[in-house]
Structure 1
Amino acid sequence: MTQEPADPFDWIRESSRRRREAGLDRALRYRDATSSLVDLASNDYLGLTRHPDVTEAAAEAARRWGAGSTGSRLVTGTTALHGQLEEELAEFTGFEAALVFSSGYAANLAALTTLGRAGSLIVSDEGNHASLIDGCRLARARTAVVPHRDPAAVRKALASHQGPGLMVTDSVFSVDGDLAPLDRLSQECRARGAALVVDDAHGLGVLGEGGRGAAHAGGLAGSPDTVSTATLSKSLGSQGGAVLGPARVIGELRNAARTFIFDTGLAPAATGAALAALRRLRGEPERALRVRQVARTLHRRLTEAGLPATPPDAAVVSVPAPTPEAAVRWAADCRERGLWVGCFRPPSVPDGISRVRLTARADLTDAEVDEAVTTLVATAPPVGGPAREY
C-alpha cells in the first residue's frame, strides 16, 4: 500500500488557526486611485506623492530611461538620475556622500551587515524597526539589545565589549513617534570609539532646518563617526532608500553591501520622483513646519477629548487601544465614517500595546483635522477599560 507523502506545509493550518483566534489575521486592502477618505494612515508626510512636479518627473524618467533600471547598480542599473539624487541628498542633509538602494529596508540591511563585521558589537534599541532588527540578525557582529531610549544602557553595553562597536537606533520610532536622544547616544558612542547609525526614515523631511533630518537637527550630520539611513517612500513620496555618511563608508558599502551588489537598482521613475520631491522640499521648507504643526494639533485636540495620545516629536501620533480586536474595530469604524488610520497590533507591536496610529500630513486642511478628531473621538473604545462588544 502506497503511503501518501507528508504535506510539508501542514503546519500552516495550525499557525493560521492560532492567528485567527487571536484576532491577528491579515488581509490586503486595495485602495482606489482616488478616495474621499481623509488619509491619516499613509506616510506621505509632505503631501508630495501626487504633486504634479513629482508625478511628471516620474513619467519623464520612465519615458527617457525605461520602466526598469535593467540590472544591478554596478552593472547597468545606474543612471545619471541616481547620481544626481545621491549628490543632492548628501548636500541637503549635510553628509559627505550618499548611496541609493531599492528600498529603505535594503539600505538598513546594507548598513548593518557591512559595518557590523565579525568581532564587533552592535547595540540596538529594543524599539527599532524590523529592518534594523533583521540587519542585526544578518550581521556577523554580536548584538546587544538595550532598553528603549536608554543612553546609560548603551554605555554599559559598549563598555562590556573589547573591540569595534556601533549603536543603531531609529531617529523617530514608528509606533509612538518618540525621538531618540541622539545627542546623548552620540556622546556615549564617541566616548568608546563606537559609530552611531541612525535610521531617519521618519525624520527626513520633517525634522531639522527645512526638513533636513534628525542628524542635521542634532549637529551630527557630516560627523566622521555617524551614518544615517533614510527612505524615499515617506516625505519624498516615492520609493527606495539611501545610506548617508562619510565617503569612505559609502565606498565600502558600494563594494561590500550585498543588497547593493546583488539587487536590481531603483527604477528610474522612482529615482526621478524622489529627486523632484527633494527639490520641491528645498523650495518649500514650510512643508516641514506644517506637518509638525498638524501633528501637535492632533495630539492636543485628542488629549483634550480624553484620549491618551502620545506626544509627537515628528509626524506620528499614536493612540492606544485596549485589545488588538478593539484596535481593528476602531480603524474599521473610522473608515466607515470617512477616515483612514493605521492599525498596529501584534506582531507589528508587542502584546499589550495595540493602537491606532495617525500620520500627520502637511497638506491636510484645518477642516480635515477637525473631521479626523471628531471621528476618532466618536468611535473610540473605552479608555482603560474592556473593549466594546463588536
Structure 2
Amino acid sequence: MWNKLESRLKQRQAQDLIRQRLTLESGQDTEVSVNATHYVNFSSNDYLGLASHPKMAETMISAVKRYGPGSGASHLVVGHSKEHNLLEEELAEFVGTERAVLFSSGFMANYGVLTSLFDRKDLLVQDKLNHASLIDGGRASEAKMLRYAHNDLNSLQRQLKHQVDTKIIVTDGVFSMDGDLAPLPEILSLAESSQSQLMVDDAHGFGVLGESGKGSLEYFELEQGRVDIYMATLGKAIGGYGAFVAGKSTLIEALIQFARSYIYTTAIPPVVAAVNREGLRLVQSEPELRQNLQDNIQYFKQLAEEARLPLMPSDTAIQPLMVKKSDAAIRISQSLRDRGLLVVAIRPPTVPENTARLRITLTANHTKAHIEQLIEAIKDNIQVIP
C-alpha cells in the first residue's frame, strides 16, 4: 500500500498538482497573516465579511458561556439544542419553505440527500461541473446517475428522456470554480415539462444574491416552492459554519430519519448555531453589505476589462482568471503572494484538465485600493499566461 501511495504522490508532484495548506495566524478577513507575513486575502468565501463582524464575535462569547464549546452528541440522541431548533425555523422562514434541517457541512448535506432519498429505480441528472459533494453523493446513491454538459439545456433535455420512477435534476445555483449561474428559469421549465424534480445547491448564492439575499432563486425572481430540494451552506456569506436543506415537511422528516450523514454524526455545537442565527439576522438587517460586494464586483470587472485580463464570464463574487497550465497558475499565484496578495491557484482535479486558474473572490470588505493593487499585480504577470 505504501509504495502505491508514494507513487501516486510523486506523480501528482510531477504534474504540479500537489496542494499545500496555508496556516493562518489571524482570523478570517480581507487582510490575514500567514507565517508572520501580511496579505490581502482574495481567496475567501466570506463574501459579506461576516466572519469578522463584531456582532458575530459578541454572539459567540455570550453563547459559549451558556452552552459551552461542544454539542456532546448527534441530533437524534441529546445533541439537538434550542439554538439548532430556532436556526432551522428561521432558515425555513427566510427562504420560504415548510421546514429546514441542519447538517454539519455542505458535503454531508448533499451526500445525505442523494444517498438516502433515491433507489435503483430513480435517475439523477447532474451538471458536469457540479460540486464534488454532489458528484460523490450521486456515485454513492443507488440511483442511476447521468451528467449533462455544463449549463447545456439541450444536453439536459436528452438525459431527461429516460423513463424511470423518479427523475431529479441536480445543479449548483452558482458554480464554485467558474462563478457563473445555472439558468434556473429554463431548468425549472424543463423539470416541470418532463415531470422531473429539481435540487439546487446554493452554497455560493445564499446570503449574497437576490434583493434580500435569499439566493439564486430570488435572483431569478422564482418562487422557492418550485424547487423540490434546496441546500445552502452557512460558512460562506453567513460567516459561520454548517449547512441546511430546506423544502416540504415530508422531505425534511425523511432526511432526519434516513440520511446517515445526519443521523450518525455529532451535531454542530449550539454556540455555532447561535452564531449562524446572528449571521442570518445581519444578512437581513445590513443590506448595504450586499451592495458593497456588488460595487466591488463591478469595479474589479471594469478594471480587468480595461487591462484585458482573461477573466471567465461571471457576475458573482467568484472571478476566475483563466491560466490553463498548472505550472503557470502556481507561478502567478506565488508572484502575487510576493507582493502581499493571497490568490490561490486552482488546478486539476478540482477543475478539468488545461483549465487551471486563479480563483479570485471578492468580499464586501475589500477596498478600491485592494482591488487596484490586485489588478496592477496581475497585469505585471500577464505574460506568464500561455
**TM-superposed deviation, 1:286:** 2.1
Please identify, of 120-129 and 283-292, the stretch whose mean Cα deviation from structure 2 is larger: 283-292
Q: Is the contact made by 1:58 and 1:271 (CA closer than 8 Å) also made in structure 2?
A: no
Matched AA of 1:45? Y
What residue is the counterpart of 1:358 in the other structure? 360
| TM-score, reference length from structure 1 | 0.93
What residue is the counterpart of 1:37 in the other structure? 39
Cα distance in structure 2, aligned partners of 1:318 and 1:270: 31
SS in structure 1 at match of 2:17:
coil
**TM-superposed deviation, 1:303:** 2.2
Q: Percent identity?
A: 36
**TM-superposed deviation, 1:181:** 0.4
**TM-superposed deviation, 1:221:** 4.2
Cα distance in structure 2, aligned partners of 1:202 and 1:342: 18
Q: Is the contact made by 2:115 and 2:140 (CA closer than 8 Å) also made in structure 1?
A: yes
Please identify, of 244-253 and 194-203, the stretch whose mean Cα deviation from structure 2 is larger: 244-253
What residue is the counterpart of 1:257 in the other structure? 259
Deviations along 1:322-352, whole A, 9 cap, x unmatched? 4101111111111110111121001111111
Cα distance in structure 2, aligned partners of 1:329 and 1:92: 43
Cα distance in structure 2, aligned partners of 1:196 and 1:145: 14
Q: Is the contact made by 1:205 and 1:281 (CA closer than 8 Å) also made in structure 2?
A: yes
**TM-superposed deviation, 1:213:** 0.6
What residue is the counterpart of 1:123 in the other structure? 125
**TM-superposed deviation, 1:144:** 0.6
Aligned positions of 1:17-28 closer than 5 A: 17-28=10-21
Q: Is the contact made by 2:97 and 2:248 (CA closer than 8 Å) also made in structure 1?
A: yes
> Is residue 199 of structure 1 aligned with residue 192 of structure 2?
no
Cα distance in structure 2, aligned partners of 1:55 and 1:239: 14
**TM-superposed deviation, 1:59:** 2.4
**TM-superposed deviation, 1:75:** 0.8
Q: Is the contact made by 1:330 and 1:381 (CA closer than 8 Å) also made in structure 2?
A: no
Please identify, of 69-78 and 149-158, the stretch whose mean Cα deviation from structure 2 is larger: 149-158
Q: Is the contact made by 1:320 and 1:353 (CA closer than 8 Å) also made in structure 2?
A: yes
**TM-superposed deviation, 1:219:** 4.1
Aligned positions of 1:1-390 closer than 5 A: 8-33=1-26, 34-35=32-33, 36-223=38-225, 225-383=227-385, 385=386
SS in structure 2 at match of 1:236:
coil
Please identify, of 91-100 and 37-46, the stretch whose mean Cα deviation from structure 2 is larger: 91-100
Matched AA of 1:57? T
Q: Is the contact made by 2:233 and 2:243 (CA closer than 8 Å) also made in structure 1?
A: yes
**TM-superposed deviation, 1:284:** 0.8
Deviations along 1:292-333, whole A, 9 cap, x unmatched? 221222122112112111232321000011410111111111
Q: Is the contact made by 1:172 and 1:313 (CA closer than 8 Å) also made in structure 2?
A: no
**TM-superposed deviation, 1:365:** 1.3
Cα distance in structure 1, aligned partners of 2:226 and 2:330: 45
Cα distance in structure 1, aligned partners of 2:98 and 2:224: 6
Cα distance in structure 2, aligned partners of 1:187 and 1:262: 37
Deviations along 1:91-142, whole A, 9 cap, x unmatched? 1122221111111111111121223333100000000000000110111100
Ranges in structure 2 where 5+ consecutive residues have no aligned partner: 27-31
Q: Over aligned residue pairs, what C-alpha RMSD do you find?
A: 1.5
**TM-superposed deviation, 1:235:** 0.3
Which consecutive segments of 4 or more residues in structure 1 shift more than 6 A?
none
Q: Is the contact made by 1:107 and 1:243 (CA closer than 8 Å) also made in structure 2?
A: yes
Q: How many corresponding residue pairs? A: 377
Deviations along 1:178-211, whole A, 9 cap, x unmatched? 0000111111111122110000000011111221
Matched AA of 1:333? S
Matched AA of 2:334? A
Please identify, of 308-317 and 228-237, the stretch whose mean Cα deviation from structure 2 is larger: 308-317
Q: Is the contact made by 1:220 and 1:226 (CA closer than 8 Å) also made in structure 2?
A: no
Q: Is the contact made by 1:101 and 1:240 (CA closer than 8 Å) also made in structure 2?
A: yes
Q: Is the contact made by 2:200 and 2:227 (CA closer than 8 Å) also made in structure 1?
A: no
SS in structure 2 at match of 1:153:
helix
Q: Is the contact made by 1:124 and 1:146 (CA closer than 8 Å) also made in structure 2?
A: yes
| TM-score, reference length from structure 2 | 0.94
Taking a change above 3 Å as real, the CA distance of residues 264 and 221 of structure 1, as seen in their structure-2 partners, is: farther
Q: Is the contact made by 1:210 and 1:286 (CA closer than 8 Å) also made in structure 2?
A: no
What residue is the counterpart of 2:29 in the other structure? none
